[in-house]
Amino acid sequence: MKKNKFISWFSLIAFLIIILFGVSILSLCTGSAAIPIENIWDIALFGKGTTEYSILFDLRLPRIILGFAVGGGLSLAGVILQGLFRNPLVEPYTLGISGGAALGVALSIILGWHSTLILPVSGFSGAGITIIIIYILSLRRGRMKIEGLLLMGVMISFISSSLIMLIMSVSRVETFQQIIFWMMGSLEGSNWSLIRLAVCISILGLFVSLFFAISLNALSLGEEEALHLGVDIERSKRILFLLASVLTGFSVSVAGVIGFVGLVIPHLLRLFVGQDHRILLITSFLVGGSFLILCDTLARTIISPCELPVGVITGIFGGSLFIYLLSKKNV
């Protein structure tokens, strides 16, 4: 029985990897300047210096890789937090981490510090400060209170949103537009150093989370049950919270606030693969990456040659899909 389950899981993961590869190739070929798939190999080998080479490998490929890292990271964070809070409606942005990152970026923009490197640093600094505040405030006698953690996160999110609106209300039109566009999310403009770092963090996050898959399965039953099963619940909660926070904070800092990925994908996968985090973590990571790459492709082709923020597409597409699945499954 266990052997059959392993084969089934392996087949599913292999299928999702093929889907990810297929979506990536589709995204590479699609755009305002369509490039046939059969030409990609020749362009890669012999087309260096040409316009087609620049479109494929300087513009589209970085977005695809970043989309994989950010989509996978947000989905992974969503799975971890939903398991930790035992609530399928919790998402990475519920804890106020995105609000802290957005506030850091808004302050950076209004001060005139808006280079491609400074903005992510500002965003991650804001997210990091938020994580520390939430963590300290949620501790009670050395124990992390999950209920307090959620409430603190929601309140900090409201405070951050209010401060951002205050900044936008006193800023110039150009600054206002920059803040709004960043908050809607985009995979455009990141340099290769940030992209490599995003990939490393998201893949490392996946490997670390897999070590706690059994603990997440136990925590989903409740803290008392997990304790009886021999899980060090305080250690597991701290590590899982920090892991989800780092994944969310870095994703938001490099790509802006991209909603619904960390909510829709884990919930969707739970309907199809069940509650076992050993398979749920991997499948959510792969599907999240594919989903964001697909949404980014739509964002830059729907009104081509203009481009929509990818957060608009994830919100409309992800929200509609979520409503449809809930109505069909009667969840």
Query: Residue 211: pLDDT above 70?
Result: yes
Our CA angle for 296, 178, 110, nearest 5°, is 145
Q: What is the structure's pLDDT at 21?
A: 95
CATH superfamily of 2-329: ABC transporter involved in vitamin B12 uptake, BtuC (1.10.3470.10)
Write the CB contacts of 160 (distance below 8 Å, at least 6 apart in sequence): 96, 99, 100, 102, 103, 130
Q: What is the structure's pLDDT at 1?
A: 44
Our CA angle for 155, 156, 158, nearest 5°, is 65
Mean pLDDT of 104-120: 79
Q: What is the structure's pLDDT at 3?
A: 57
Rounded to whole angstroms, the Cα distance separating 329 from 62 reads 37
Query: Residue 18: pLDDT above 90?
Result: yes
Query: Residue 116: pLDDT above 70?
Result: no
Q: What is the structure's pLDDT at 108?
A: 86
8 Å CB contact between 234 and 146: no
Give tens-digit pLDDT for 186-205: 888 678 888 999 999 999 99
Say what the pTM is.
0.91
Confidence of residue 331 (pLDDT cuts 50, 70, 90): very low
Q: What is the structure's pLDDT at 89?
A: 77
Q: What is the structure's pLDDT at 5?
A: 65
Query: Residue 112: pLDDT above 80?
Result: no
Give tens-digit pLDDT for 212-232: 999 898 888 777 787 787 778
Mean pLDDT of 134-145: 75
Averaged confidence pLDDT in the chain: 84
Query: Residue 292: pLDDT above 70?
Result: yes
Rounded to whole angstroms, the Cα distance separating 127 from 130 reads 5
Rounded to whole angstroms, the Cα distance separating 257 from 147 reads 24
Query: Residue 209: pLDDT above 90?
Result: yes
Give the CA dihedral 219, 221, 225, 231, nearest 10 degrees. -20
Q: Which amino acid is at 212?
A: F
Q: What is the structure's pLDDT at 2?
A: 58
In the chain, what percentage of residues exceed pLDDT 90?
A: 23
Confidence of residue 6 (pLDDT cuts 50, 70, 90): low
In the chain, what percentage of residues exceed pLDDT 70?
A: 94
Q: Where are the domains of the chain?
A: 2-329
The token pair that represents 254 in the structure block: 């490099």
For 19-33, 72-86, 286-300, 313-327, which range has the lowest pLDDT when averaged over its residues?
313-327
Following DSSP, what letter does each residue of 109-178 receive, concatenated? HHTT---TTHHHHHHHHHHHHHHHHHHHHHEETTEE-HHHHHHHHHHHHHHHHHHHHHHHHTS-HHHHHH
Q: What is the structure's pLDDT at 19?
A: 95
